[in-house]
Every structure is written in C-alpha cells, then in structure tokens.
C-alpha cells in the first residue's frame, strides 16, 4: 500500500474514533453527532467549489449513501444512550463492515474480490467486536433506554 492512502486512512480512523468518543461523552449524543455532520458539510464546501458537483449519474448513489449514513448515525446515537462507549463503538465498527460486505456480495457480486478478502474482513470485524467484550468486562452495560423504542426515538 502506498504511504499517502495509508496515512489518510489512519488519520480518518483517528478522527472518526475521536468524534465518536466526543459524541458519547456529551449529555445529548444526538446534538454532538449533528454538529459533527454539519461541520463536515461546512468543511466540504471549498472542495465542492474547487472540484464541482458530481455528475448527475452519481446522485442516486449519493442519496442512497445519505439514507444509509443517516440510519447508521441514528442507530449509533440510540446505542450510545443505552450502553458504554467501550462496548458500543467496537460493536458498531465491527458489524458495519460485515453488513456492507453482505450487501456488496448480494447486490454487486462482480465487486467481490474472493475468499481471501472475505476472510480478512471477517477476521478484522470479529477482532473489533471482541474488543467490545473486553470493554464489557470493565463496565456494566446498564441497558436503560429512555424510550420504549429507543432505536426509533434517537433525537
């Protein structure tokens, strides 16, 4: 792997974990996530002005991405309200790659890169999920959703 993409991925992971930790530590995780997403939009404005809008063919995919991202963020906020960060974050970050891989396999079979890639994704995801069990030993989960259907009432 080239150094620049590797460093970009590493920096992205650091920022991602940082904003998730910040969101979880706030009394209202929903407001923190909203502020982060809003700032990401503000930061992207100069790049959009410089590079221009994507082609029209990309807009259905962009809308689908917005739908999936919004759903994921709402689930994330609901989970942050129900359990400690040390459990919630690895659970989310371990299961999402598995879900995306399953969707890739179902809808884009030509994009799948073989058994070795699948095995790598499974091993990394399971490793990240196992971190949640380590976090669970250190903190009690304390499942106390504020609403009867907390996953659907994330504010």
Report how far residue 151's alpha carbon sits from residue 154's, in angstroms, rounded to the nearest whole number.
6
CB atoms within 10 A of CB 48: 11
Tens digits of residue pLDDT in 113-134: 677 888 888 999 999 888 887 7
What per-residue confidence (pLDDT) applies to 16? 79
pTM above 0.75, yes or no: no
Q: What is the mean pLDDT of residues 96-122?
A: 80
Split at pLDDT 50, 70, 90, the class of 50 is very high
Residues contacting residue 142 through CB under 8 Å, at least 6 positions apart: 83, 84
Comparing C-alpha atoms, which of 79, 94, 100 is closest to residue 23?
79
Least confident stretch, 7-21, 35-49, 60-74: 7-21
112 pLDDT band, cuts 50/70/90, is low
d(CA 2, CA 44): 25
């Amino acid at each position: 792997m080239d150094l620049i993409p590797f460093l970009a991925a590493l920096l992205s992971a650091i920022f991602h974990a940082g904003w998730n930790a910040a969101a979880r530590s706030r009394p209202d995780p929903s407001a923190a996530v909203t502020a982060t997403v809003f700032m990401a939009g503000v930061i992207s404005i100069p790049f959009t002005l410089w590079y221009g809008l994507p082609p029209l063919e990309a807009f259905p995919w962009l809308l689908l991405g917005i739908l999936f991202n919004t759903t994921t963020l709402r689930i994330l906020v609901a989970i942050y309200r129900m359990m400690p960060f040390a459990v919630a974050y690895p659970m989310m970050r371990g299961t999402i790659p598995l879900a995306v891989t399953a969707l890739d396999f179902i809808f884009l079979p030509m994009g799948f890169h073989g058994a070795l890639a699948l095995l790598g994704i499974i091993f990394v995801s399971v490793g990240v999920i196992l971190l949640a069990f380590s976090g669970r030993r250190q903190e009690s989960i304390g499942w106390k959703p504020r609403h009867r259907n907390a996953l659907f009432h994330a504010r």
